[in-house]
Amino acid sequence: MIRVQSIDVQVIRKGIKNLHLGVYPPNGHVRVAVPEHMNDENVRLVIVSKLAWIKKQQKEFQNQPRQSVRAYVSGECHYFFGKAYRLEVIERVGKPEVQACKSGQLKMFVKPKLEAEQKEKILNEWYRSELKKVVPELFEKWTKRVGKEASWNIRKMKTKWGSCNPDKASILLNLELAKKPMECLEYILVHELVHLHERHHNERFKSLLDKFLPNWKSSRIILNTSPLAFDKWEY
């Protein structure tokens, strides 16, 4: 860890060629990956040059609403593709089941006396299955438009909405995207596919996003201003 003008920065040295700086939820944790040969003083110079951007990102995270800790009891509000649902927990013997009703209820059928952690697991598995229903069609649509093929998977990620491994042409999507509006899922998917053309978030990357998904900035705003499940975002 180094400290630059009251900002703590986690420095990770890797066998990479370029420096990668990131500000992460929930509170704007700053992390920088640097080539192994780069010394602390040069890292500090880069951080100083990016201080305005870092502070802007941190302010956005601090202003972003947080969900309260979920207890998975009837009456709670849970999100599904951007819509708020009122949870109704129904105890019964048999296989667990979750149903999103047009009435705005999210019915969870579970065995009696389950702990909150067990209910959370059931709901997360339902979120995963619902994502798996919609992602294939989106992938087919966008791999054709972007001109790149990739494998994909869904993971409960700690600090990112998505990630791409260009060398393996593989993409990971955060399970939390099942709670966000569909356009947010689409934005993250396209964002990661564009990384198969350009690894870095440079001007070429942004111009490609503009080309393939002209409204990506508005989708990013929606994603960055929607409630965070703060207890799930860890470092």
Tens of pLDDT along the chain (235 residues) come to: 898 888 899 999 988 888 889 888 667 889 999 999 898 899 999 999 999 999 888 887 776 666 667 899 999 999 999 999 999 999 999 999 999 999 999 999 999 999 999 999 999 999 999 999 999 999 999 999 999 999 999 999 877 899 999 999 999 999 999 999 999 999 999 999 999 999 988 899 999 999 999 999 999 888 877 766 644 433 2
Q: Please state the CATH superfamily assignment of the domain spanning residues 77-232 in this structure.
A: Metalloproteases ("zincins"), catalytic domain (3.30.2010.10)
DSSP string, 52-115: HHHHHHHHHHHHS-BPPPP---TT-EEEETTEEEEEEEEE-SSS-EEEE-TTSEEEEEE-TT--
Q: Which residue in this structure is represented by tokens 């509000």?
A: 77
What pLDDT is attached to residue 145?
A: 96
Give 42's strand partners.
none
**26 preceded by a cis bond (ω within 30 of 0):** yes
Give the three-class secondary structure for 198.
coil
User: Where are the chain's structural domains?
Assistant: 2-63, 77-232
Half-sphere exposure of 207 (CA within 13 A, CB side): 5
Nearest to 142 by CA among 88, 90, 211, 199: 211
Q: Dihedral of the CA atoms 87, 101, 127, 218 (nearest 10)?
A: -100
pLDDT at 66: 62
Q: Are 25 and 64 in contact (CB under 8 A)?
A: yes
**Hey, is 20 helix, strand or coil?**
strand
